[in-house]
Amino acid sequence: DTVFLNGDYVAKANAKISVLDRGFLFADGVYEVIPVYRGKPFRVKEHLNRLFDSLRQINLSSPYSESQWLEIITRVIVKNLNVHGDNQSIYLQVTRGIDSDRQHTVSGPLPATVLVMASKLTTGESTLKGEKATLLEDIRWLHCDIKSIALLANTLLVNQAKANGFDEAILHRQQWLTEGASSNVFLVNNGQVLTPPKSQYILGGITRDLIIELCQASGLEVCQRRVHIKELLDADEVWICSSTREISPIIAIDDKIIGSGRIGATTRRMAAALQAFKSELL
C-alpha cells in the first residue's frame, strides 16, 4: 500500500507528518476524491479543476501543475494495482504546510504538505439498493463550495444518521435543501428532475455535473433551483450521488416513504446511463 507524500512514494504505514502541520492543527487544507475504473482516473480534469478552485479560494497556490498531478495520480494507481485492484478511490490532500509553531497567523508562505493515497473502490458493478436518509439541519459553515478538509460538521451529522439507522444525512438550511453530508441530492417530481443550484451552500459535485449532462443527453431537462424540504418529502423519486456512491436511490427520509417506496424509473434510467457512460470510456 503505497502513498505519495511530499515528493516521495512510501508505504502507507510509514507515511508520517509533523504535529505542526496546519492540516493537523487547523484543518487548513483542501482535498479531492477521484474514482478510478479499470486503472483509469475518472473525470480527473474536472476533479483537478475543482482542486485548483478550492486552493485559490483558500489562497494557496497549487504545488503542482495539471500534468504533474496527473503523473503523481497515475503512479499511485499503478503502485497500488496489486493491493487494491484496478477500481480504486484516490484521496488527494493539500495543506498549508508545517509552521514553526502552533499559531493561527501563518508565518509566511510554507511548502504545502501533499498526500495522495489509494483505497479499494467497491461501487459500480452491484445492483442498485434503496437507502434511507434522515433530514438534519445543515450546521456547516457558509463556504461549502470549498472542498475543505474541515469536515467536523459533516462527520458529526453522518455519524448521527448512522447511529439512528440511516445511510445518509440530507441537510437543509431553514427548510431549504442543501445537499447530503457527503453527496448531492436530486429529486423527481411530476416528471421533472430538480436539484439545488451551485452556490456557497453546496459542493459542486463532479457526479452532479455528469448526471445533469446525462439527463440532458437523454432528453430530460434538469431544473436547478431552490428546493423546499416539503417538495423533497413529497417527491416521486430521490437519489443522492457522489464519486464513490455514484447514484444511490433514497426510498425513505426519516419515517416518510418516498414515492412508492421502491426505486423509481428515472433513478434506474440515470444509474444505467452512468454505467453506460463509464463503460464507453473503458
Decide: is 177 part of the binding site for ligand PMP (CB under 6 A).
no
Terminal alpha carbon distance of the chain:
25
- Give every strand in the sheet of 88-95, ordered side by side: 8-11, 2-5, 113-120, 88-95, 29-37, 40-41
54 neighbors 92 (Cβ within 8 angstroms): no
Helix, strand or coil, per DSSP, at residue 235: coil
Decide: is 118 part of the binding site for ligand PMP (CB under 6 A).
no
CB of 148 or CB of 266, closer to ligand PMP: 148
CB of 131 or CB of 179, closer to ligand PMP: 179
Interface with ligand PMP by CB under 6 A: which range of 70-78, 131-139, 201-209, 253-261? 201-209
Tell me which residues in 225-244 interact with ligand PMP (CB under 6 A): 242-243
CB of 98 or CB of 214, closer to ligand PMP: 214
> What are residue 257's DSSP bridge partners?
252
Cell numbers found for residue 160: 448521527
List, by residue number, the catalytic residues.
147
Give dist(CA 274, CA 214) in Å, integer.
Answer: 7
CB of 139 or CB of 257, closer to ligand PMP: 139
218 neighbors 269 (Cβ within 8 angstroms): yes
Decide: is 205 part of the binding site for ligand PMP (CB under 6 A).
yes
Among the listed residues 99, 168, 179, 237, the single contact to ligand PMP using CB under 6 A: 179
Give dist(CA 282, CA 53) in Å, integer.
Answer: 28
Cell numbers found for residue 255: 419515517
Tell me which residues in 55-114 interact with ligand PMP (CB under 6 A): none
Q: 254 phi and psi, to 5 degrees?
A: 50, -125
Q: Helix axis angle, 206-217 relative to 265-281, nearest 10°?
A: 100
184 neighbors 239 (Cβ within 8 angstroms): no
Count residues contacting ligand PMP (CB under 6 A)? 12
CB of 77 or CB of 144, closer to ligand PMP: 144
Binding mask 134-173 for ligand PMP (x = CB under 6 A): ----------------------------------------
Interface with ligand PMP by CB under 6 A: which range of 80-88, 131-139, 179-187, 261-269? 179-187
Decide: is 246 part of the binding site for ligand PMP (CB under 6 A).
no
Among the listed residues 203, 214, 250, 263, the single contact to ligand PMP using CB under 6 A: 203
224 neighbors 195 (Cβ within 8 angstroms): yes
Beta strands 256-257 and 168-173 are unpaired
Among the listed residues 2, 95, 195, 207, the single contact to ligand PMP using CB under 6 A: 207
CB of 97 or CB of 201, closer to ligand PMP: 201
- Cell 417530481: give the residue: 189
Give dist(CA 236, CA 259) in Å, integer.
Answer: 4
Binding mask 19-48 for ligand PMP (x = CB under 6 A): --------------x---------------
Decide: is 182 part of the binding site for ligand PMP (CB under 6 A).
yes
Would you tell me which residues interact with ligand PMP (CB under 6 A)? Answer: 33, 179, 182-184, 203, 205-208, 242-243
